[in-house]
Chain A
Amino acid sequence: GAVVSQHPSRVICKSGTSVKIECRSLDFQATTMFWYRQFPKQSLMLMATSNEGSKATYEQGVEKDKFLINHASLTLSTLTVTSAHPEDSSFYICSAHDSSSGNTIYFGEGSWLTVV
């Protein structure tokens, strides 16, 4: 199946700093990518839809100024957590749609963010 890669897989940052997480589609082009967050023992929660060449669409309750999303190319979307706080510590996961394989979405391996 299609491969979606995230980097870094784990990151620790200090409170108040910003951290960027990358999501790449390795063997296909993705006009649309999605960002989720997941707290321990909970399900995935959709944060936003990342659209190549246009602004991201955020789900209700997600602060767009805090979670900056950029989708500058057909294979890369980035999520920047700005002014991170300990409560932002979570597992962040991206997904991408491979139009060549129908309607299937493929997920990245996830990125663990710990804010200290």
Chain B
Amino acid sequence: DAKTTQPPSMDCAEGRAANLPCNHSTISGNEYVYWYRQIHSQGPQYIIHGLKNNETNEMASLIITEDRKSSTLILPHATLRDTAVYYCIVTSGTYKYIFGTGTRLKVLA
């Protein structure tokens, strides 16, 4: 599975959109991009995933570039409860997720 690169930390004002980038320049054609988040002392929570098209659900939007080498997770109106570590994972469907270091998002009041 391709490796991912994320900034180690980001701050976002409450109520504003949080845009979390992920670089996956070695992604191959059959690999999906998944996003999870982990709130302190809990298991990771699924957010969203996509292959090549942009995706949106009740939690977030996922924007994947046309060359698929990077993606951005968008939390449209961040709240204090969105403070967490966000992980971008690329997988071909083996379900064996390899976690990178993730981005520690802090939502500020």
Chain A: residues with CB nearer than 8 A to chain B?
1, 4, 6, 32, 34, 36, 43-46, 49, 91, 93, 95, 97, 103-110, 112
A46 near B95 with CB under 8 A, answer no
The reply to whether the CB of B54 lies closer than 8 angstroms to some CB of chain A is no
Interface SS of chain A: strand
Chain B: residues with CB nearer than 8 A to chain A?
32, 34, 36, 38, 41-46, 49, 87, 91, 93, 95-102
B99 near A43 with CB under 8 A, answer yes
A110 near B41 with CB under 8 A, answer yes
Question: What residues on A are CB-neighbors of B102 within 8 Å?
Answer: 43
Please list 25 pairs of residues, one from A and one from B, whose beta carbons are closer than 8 Å in the complex, sorted by A's number. A1-B46, A4-B43, A6-B43, A34-B96, A34-B97, A36-B99, A43-B87, A43-B101, A43-B102, A44-B44, A44-B99, A45-B99, A46-B96, A46-B99, A93-B43, A95-B95, A95-B97, A97-B95, A103-B32, A103-B91, A103-B93, A103-B95, A104-B34, A104-B46, A112-B41
